[in-house]
């Protein structure tokens, strides 16, 4: 049997078979779309394959630009096994490798402000651009301090979000998101100011949360007290999609008062709904006139994710108490979704979890968009 490290020939054959099932599922006619079978949410070998392909090759939201306003503001995270420091360095926000070039110690942890990163193992010190500034007692003739700069990753800002890719030549993010500006630009998403961030581990597959956040079909069933009054399922409408994103509109009933003014250029319709988008593979966002909530999904295992979510507000239309209420509301909403996804995860290993028919475009068309994206990217990634 042809065996490579960590993956047997048996695994390879199963992954190839699943890739074909993914392609077949995406090829289902638009009027009879289907969801992926359960093993796409549980299989370890397929998860490894995704990590190497659609996940690693994608752009990942790592935070809001206004989390890095002062020189040296930084945030650490682990993205698909890669430890990163996101840091303000002059006019740039950079994504540095959080791995000391001496013997591989993790350099920084948590979030804070630093003018240099000093390794707590042997005290090598790096600047915020990753340059090695000092390496105590390293007198060896062959040692070149300049050759020990921290690794860096592509890092860009769009819509007030910071995106990182783990590959040196990632897809063109402007091509990925072309068309999204027309859907959300009037909200002025880059003008929102962050008021809350939290991380939690959920026991579900990463795709399940992308799909859950992006479909309006469950809103009235799962969120009867928290969301139904504002965004009932019946008023969900599919929005435009692009190369690397999809959208839908969660419209408010006519009798609901506006929830804050928001940007001056917003039309009445945009003010009277939440607009949701997914920037594939792993970011899902809800933007409304005065509130923007973003979830960055970090796959950990086939059946677990770290979810870092942020809440940002537009201008000063929301007072402190209202902001606290919105944070509490979103904590409740997230808990309601998490409970469903973790319960579903326990069922997806069943031999009867074969994937089922999806609802129409306004309710689950975004899941079909995601499936089409997955299949396209998987095919492009090759073997
Ligand atoms: S591992 Fe960082 S200084 Fe030795
Ligand atoms: Fe939900």
pLDDT digits 0-9 by tens, 124-147: 999 999 999 999 999 999 999 999
Across 41-70, average pLDDT: 97
Nearest-ligand number for the alpha carbon of 219: 2
CA distance 375 to 151: 31
Predicted confidence (pLDDT) per residue in 80-98, tens digit = 999 999 999 999 999 999 9
Query: Using the 8-state DSSP alphabet, how is residue 41 labeled?
Result: G
Average pLDDT over residues 325-344: 97
Of the candidates 171, 165, 163, the residue with the CA atom closest to the CA atom of residue 244: 171
pLDDT grade for 337, boundaries at 50, 70 and 90: very high
> Residue 1's pLDDT band (boundaries 50, 70, 90)?
very low
| Cα 123 to ligand 1 centroid, rounded to whole Å | 6
Structural fold of domain 171-381: Naphthalene 1,2-dioxygenase Alpha Subunit; Chain A, domain 1 (3.90.380)
pLDDT at 4: 46
The answer, yes or no, to whether residue 101 has pLDDT greater than 80, is yes
Instruction: Judge if the beta carbon of residue 120 lies within 6 A of ligand 1.
Output: no
With H, G, I as helix, E, B as strand and everything else as coil, classify residue 295: strand
CATH no. for 63-157: 2.102.10.10
Instruction: Name the percent of the chain lying above pLDDT 90.
Output: 94
SS (H, E, C) 46-68: HHHHHHHHHHCCCEEEEEEHHHC
> Beta strand pairing status for 273-279 and 245-251?
antiparallel
- Per-residue model confidence (pLDDT) at position 7: 64
Task: Kindly state if the Cβ of 117 falls inside 6 Å of ligand 1.
Answer: no
Q: What is the pLDDT of residues 243-253, one digit of tens each?
A: 999 999 999 99
Higher pLDDT, 381 or 359: 359
pLDDT score at 3? 39
pLDDT for res 383: 59
Residue nearest to atom 4 of ligand 1 (CA): 122
* Chain segment 284-313, per-residue pLDDT in tens: 999 999 999 999 999 999 999 999 999 999
**Does position 269 have pLDDT exceeding 90, yes or no?**
yes
Structure confidence at residue 9 (pLDDT): 79
The residue to mutate among 83, 101, 102, having the most atoms of ligand 1 within 8 angstroms of its beta carbon, is 102
User: Of the candidates 233, 317, 246, 310, which has an alpha carbon nearest to the alpha carbon of residue 276?
Assistant: 246
Nearest CA to ligand 1 atom 1: 103
Evaluate if residue 258 carries a pLDDT over 80.
Answer: no
Segment 204-209 mean pLDDT? 98
* pLDDT at res. 323: 96
CA of residue 215 to ligand 2 center, whole Å: 8
Domain range list for the chain:
63-157, 171-381
Q: If you average pLDDT over residues 188-210, what whole number do you get?
A: 98
What separation in Å is there between the alpha carbon of 202 and the centre of ligand 2? 14
The pLDDT mean for the chain works out to: 96
Q: What's the predicted TM-score (pTM) here?
A: 0.96
């Amino acid at each position: 049997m042809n065996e490579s490290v960590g993956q047997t020939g048996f695994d390879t054959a199963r992954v190839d078979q699943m890739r074909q099932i993914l392609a077949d599922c995406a090829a289902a006619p638009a009027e009879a779309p289907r969801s992926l079978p359960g093993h796409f949410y549980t299989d370890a070998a397929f998860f490894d394959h995704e990590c190497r392909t659609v996940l690693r090759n994608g752009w990942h939201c790592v935070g809001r630009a206004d989390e890095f306003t002062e020189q040296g503001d930084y945030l650490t995270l682990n993205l698909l096994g890669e430890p990163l420091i996101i840091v303000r360095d002059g006019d740039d926000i950079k994504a540095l490798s959080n791995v000391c070039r001496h013997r591989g110690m993790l350099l920084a942890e948590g979030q804070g402000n630093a003018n240099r990163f000093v390794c707590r193992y042997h005290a090598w010190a790096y600047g915020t651009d990753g340059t090695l500034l000092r390496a105590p007692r390293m007198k060896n003739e062959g040692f070149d301090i300049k050759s020990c700069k921290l690794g860096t990753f592509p890092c860009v800002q769009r819509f007030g979000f910071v995106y990182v890719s783990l590959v040196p030549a990632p897809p063109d993010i402007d091509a990925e998101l072309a068309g999204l500006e027309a859907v959300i630009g009037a909200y002025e998403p880059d003008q929102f100011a962050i008021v809350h961030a939290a991380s939690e581990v959920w026991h579900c597959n990463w795709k399940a949360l992308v799909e859950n956040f992006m479909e309006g079909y469950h809103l009235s069933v799962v969120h009867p007290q928290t969301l139904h009054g504002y965004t009932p399922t019946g008023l969900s409408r599919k929005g435009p999609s692009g190369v690397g994103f999809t959208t839908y509109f969660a419209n408010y009933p006519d009798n609901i008062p506006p929830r804050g003014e928001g940007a001056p250029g917003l039309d009445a319709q945009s003010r009277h709904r939440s607009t949701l988008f997914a920037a594939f593979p792993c970011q899902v966002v809800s933007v409304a006139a005065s509130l923007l909530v973003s979830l960055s999904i970090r796959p950990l295992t086939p059946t677990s994710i770290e979810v870092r979510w942020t809440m940002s507000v537009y201008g000063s239309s929301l007072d402190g108490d209202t902001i606290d209420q919105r944070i509490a509301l979103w904590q409740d909403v997230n808990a309601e979704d998490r409970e469903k996804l973790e319960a579903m995860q326990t069922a997806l290993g069943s031999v009867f979890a074969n994937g089922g028919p999806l609802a129409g475009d306004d309710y689950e068309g975004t899941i079909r968009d995601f499936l089409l994206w997955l299949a396209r990217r998987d095919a492009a990634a090759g073997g």
